[in-house]
Amino acid sequence: MNKFLITLGIILSLGLGAQIPEGTVLYDRHGERVEWDQLINDLEKSQYILFGELHGTRACHEMEVYLARTLHQRRGDKLVLGGEMWEADQQLLANEFTSGKITAKQYKADARVWSNFESDYLPFMTIAQEKNLRFIATNIPRRYASVVYHQGSEALLNFSKDAKSLMPKLPFTFDAEMPIYQEISGAAGGHGSPNLAAAQAFKDATMARYILENTGKKETFFHINGEYHSREFQGIYQYLRVGNKKAQIRSISCVFQEKTSRLHPDNLDRADYILVIKSPEKEDNDQAEGSH
């Protein structure tokens, strides 16, 4: 009987079946180990949670489901879910799915879903349906990001009022000196559009807009996005700060390391919490462990 109660307690503590990915280790920004209950206790007090995933990494997606289910246990209907993988002009489709009016198959047929939607993002979205939670599509429709990339942000002014209603406030500006945007520009090696960083910032500003607009008093918005969009308290994080200077924000970054027994120096200050995942392939040396 005691073994049964212990097993039941473990299941309940993991969010009704959601599990902490095996082999992952959690650190704070200073490299100190953090217990899972400490993380949850902190997150449930936050207004905005930015979970920076490594796209297509199983441990990241499992952690997203675990956190969403566990936070729902703590916050109930005060929890809002959403993410980068859903575009703002498809909010109606998202509402129809999460309210049970259409099936996952019907949703997938009409939505612009990522190739790994069924395996990696449908489980997260389904939580909103099961728990009757609001689910927000936060990203800019990709056609508008493409316009910024190819023509510059000034071209956005030529769009209709309806189109502009999906965007952040125009004229759109961004801090080109922000390290994350300079890194994006440098990564292109002179071969990409000079507007590459602007297009990235446009996405960040849009996601921040929808997070801010859809978080009511005493609510917590749990947002999933590529790690690059909130790394080192930049990107979405900075736009949230501009929109709400007193915001209670917590960020999480997923990183790969061959050795998980300590946080590699390259990954310090990457986020409030760093989820270290054992590298799928062995690195040549310890210095290669940083996830830049």
Domain CATH code at residue 70: 3.40.50.11550
**For 226-277, what is each residue's pLDDT tens digit?**
999 999 999 999 999 999 999 999 999 999 999 999 999 999 999 999 999 9
Q: Could you tell me which residue, 10 or 202, shows the higher pLDDT?
A: 202
Q: pLDDT grade, residue 16 (50/70/90)?
A: very low
Task: Specify if 223 maps to a domain.
Answer: yes
CB atoms within 10 A of CB 284: 7
Q: Count how many domains the chain has.
A: 1
Task: Specify if 15 maps to a domain.
Answer: no
**For 42-92, what is each residue's pLDDT tens digit?**
999 999 999 999 999 999 999 999 999 999 999 999 999 999 999 999 999
Answering whether pTM is above 0.85, one says yes
**For 167-217, what is each residue's pLDDT tens digit?**
999 998 899 899 999 998 876 655 556 799 999 999 999 999 999 999 999
Which residues form the domain of 101? Answer: 21-289
Task: Specify if 16 maps to a domain.
Answer: no
Task: Specify if 74 maps to a domain.
Answer: yes
Task: Specify if 1 maps to a domain.
Answer: no
The answer to whether the CB of 260 falls within 8 A of the CB of 274 is: no
- Decide: helix, strand or coil at residue 123: helix
Q: Which pLDDT score, from 0 to 100, does residue 20 have?
A: 84
Task: Specify if 141 maps to a domain.
Answer: yes
Cis? peptide before 171, omega within 30° of 0:
yes
Task: Specify if 257 maps to a domain.
Answer: yes
What would the DSSP string read from start to end of 185-228? Answer: HHHTTTSS-TTHHHHHHHHHHHHHHHHHHT--TT-EEEEEEEGG
Average pLDDT for 17-26: 82
- Decide: helix, strand or coil at residue 53: strand
Q: In whole angstroms, what is the distance from residue 233 CA to residue 180 CA?
A: 10
Task: Specify if 12 maps to a domain.
Answer: no
Q: In whole angstroms, what is the distance from residue 37 CA to residue 29 CA?
A: 17
